[in-house]
A and B are shown apart, each in its own frame.
Chain A
Amino acid sequence: MFSTIKTLFKYNKKFAFGFTVISILVFLAILSFFSPYDPKVWNLTPRDLPPSIQHPLGTTSMGQDVFWLATYAIKNSLFLSIISMFISRIIAIAVGLVAGYKGGSLDRILMTLNDSFVIIPLLPILILIASVLKGGLNIVNLGILLGFFGWAWDARVIRSQILSLREREFTYTARLSGMKTSSIILKEYLPFIVPLIMATAMNNMLWAIGMEVTLAILGLSSLEIPTLGTMIHWSVNSQSLLLGIWWWILTPVIICIFLFISLYMLSVSISEFLDPRSRLKRIEVMKE
């Protein structure tokens, strides 16, 4: 695992970029535990101060320090996306494995359901749910909610991978030698699927963070919890741009951009690493 990261880091610029940026952001998120300010309390600092040594990214119109607020926002947004990622992975893997391995009518039913989830526009439905639960959507709840919606596409990807694995020789060998279905899946398939799950997981985190930002801008999540979305929400709603308090809106927007790009680059580079053609070459070389 560690050596894989090292090779990727050395030979794939996208991975190196993504990994570095994510590491910095994670570091910032960890910094939030040492924050001198409580993010939920207003007027701890003077208002609307531009960046200075005391407040490296300035302060908000509510008297909060933008830098320390941002560390909380990164932590919460990452936390939420990780919850969503875990839940959606569990569903996606279960559906993808069962549909791909069992096949037949079970596969057809599962895929019809799955495709419905792909087709149904999630945003308006999430908006409907969020406005019904208004205020009740804290980080954990929102993460769980997004997790339950963001699995369909990846389940399809995993299923098609399983379908192609099923046709390979080692499956027949394993089945003929009397291996149980569950152990075939665990021992023979999982090594192939794990990297695929990693790549889709990054994409799901990206999606979850984006959804959170959307819902927060619309004012549909718990606005007192600092996330990247709520930071943008408050700064937009306080007319920070018109008032020229650019540091307030620019901070979460730029962090968002970096977060999105780095997660995307990680996902792309992992997929490149997984590309069967380059992968086969590597395996052959290692054998020799």
Chain B
Amino acid sequence: MTFFKRYLLPRIIQYLVVIFIGTTVVFVVPRLMPTDPIQQTIERVTMQGTYIDPDAVEELKETLKELYGLKGTLFEQYAIFWKRLFRGDFGPSFAQFPTPVMELISISLPWTTILLLLTTLLSWVIGNILGGLAGYFSHYRWARILEGIAMFIRPIPYYIVALGLLILFAFIFPIFPVVGGASIGSEFKLSWNLIIDIIEHAFLPALSLIIVGTSTWFITMRLIVSNIVTEDYVSYAQSGGVSNKEIVFHYVIRNGLLPQITGLALSLGQIFSGALITEQVFSYPGIGTLLYRSISTGDYNLMMGITILSIIGIATGVLIIDIVYPLFDPRIRYE
């Protein structure tokens, strides 16, 4: 009971507050928009050359208002907005009317999930192990070289690295296909060829994400470890003649991972907004590219859908990690 009250309850409240604030912002922002989405849609329809008589236009307006959740007072709209949200209904896409936003997202989501889940986890593991080693053996040359490299990559945005890789591999060493998720024409049916195809296409975007991700985790872990090595339990283990290997993995990295777990939650949650520009640079068919398309076509419903999804995704990720965190930290488990 006390565990629930002192540990879990504040986190569940935090979860609800995040979703509440996030979705409310998403609800409010487009309504500040100077242009009227309904007018825009109608213009698009009429631009195609078909003549619609004014009565039909009025009718269409009403239907669209209903569909877009723009009917009634602001408060009524807000209530409807939440009601739809609980049903997982983000409304129709403006640009690809009337395909539901949810359908577009569910096509792109697997691509992004595979790419980002793998790269995030991989860079987390590599970065933390290397960072832990470099932090503990900081007086060695290789540790300083690694740190230097990571220091230089860390502040560079991932899309700049992506651009760099694109230039390098696409134009100088053309080994990998530059664009697309899988070769055009291949059906999405599980087969070896398809998997190899995907890996080939995902390689460059994945590499760019791993390079940046690894250096980021490396630097943070290195910093955490520089504090851990001054802890009494490390010098005590050293005075006990415990081997360096044991100290590095069971004392230094094991303790250093605890703060990194929270960081992992935050970055896993980012998956749902995709690696926006990386995907676009390599024309990878994930959420990032979808988001990019929604921006260029002014598809607010799609944008809102992706934004809300990423808010819920990140909040859920953080909550799940918070719930499992006590498994890694006995001090919280047995309070």
- Please report the C-alpha to C-alpha distance between residue A123 and residue B277 in the assembled complex, in whole angstroms: 11
Set of chain B residues within 8 Å of A218, measured between Cβ atoms: 276-277, 292, 295
A104 at the binding interface (Cβ < 8 Å): no
A: interface residue count bin? 35 or more
A-B pair number, CB within 8 angstroms: 114
B18 at the binding interface (Cβ < 8 Å): yes
Set of chain A residues within 8 Å of B270, measured between Cβ atoms: 121
Question: In A237-251, which residues have CB < 8 Å from any B CB?
Answer: 241, 249
A261's partner among B156, B272, B276, B310 (CB-CB below 8 A) is B156
**C-beta contact mask, A110-138 vs B, less than 8 Å → 1, else 0?**
00110110111101110111011000000
* Contact status A219-B296, CB under 8 Å: yes
Q: Is the interface of A mostly helix, strand, loop or mixed?
A: helix
Are A214 and B18 also in contact (CB < 8 A) when A120-B311, A124-B307, A257-B156 are? no
B: interface residue count bin? 35 or more
* Contact status B13-A112, CB under 8 Å: yes
**C-beta contact mask, B271-290 vs A, less than 8 Å → 1, else 0?**
01100110000000000000
- Chain A residue at minimal CB-CB distance from B25: A125
B237 at the binding interface (Cβ < 8 Å): no
* Contact status A241-B311, CB under 8 Å: no
Binds B, one of A31-39, A169-177, A262-270: A262-270
Binds A, one of B29-37, B64-72, B199-207, B240-248: B29-37
- Please report the C-alpha to C-alpha distance between residue A128 and residue B22 in the assembled complex, in whole angstroms: 12
Set of chain A residues within 8 Å of B134, measured between Cβ atoms: none
* Contact status B155-A116, CB under 8 Å: no
B258 at the binding interface (Cβ < 8 Å): no
- Please report the C-alpha to C-alpha distance between residue A112 and residue B276 in the assembled complex, in whole angstroms: 28
- Please report the C-alpha to C-alpha distance between residue A36 and residue B157 in the assembled complex, in whole angstroms: 32
- Interface positions of A (Cβ within 8 A of B): 14, 112-113, 115-116, 118-121, 123-125, 127-129, 131-132, 206, 210, 213-214, 217-220, 241, 249, 253, 256-257, 260-261, 263-265, 268, 277
CB<8 Å pairs between A and B, sample of 9: A112-B13, A124-B310, A128-B303, A206-B155, A213-B157, A218-B295, A241-B166, A263-B155, A268-B151
5 more A-B contacts (CB under 8 A) besides A112-B13, A116-B17, A125-B26? A113-B17, A121-B270, A127-B307, A128-B26, A249-B163
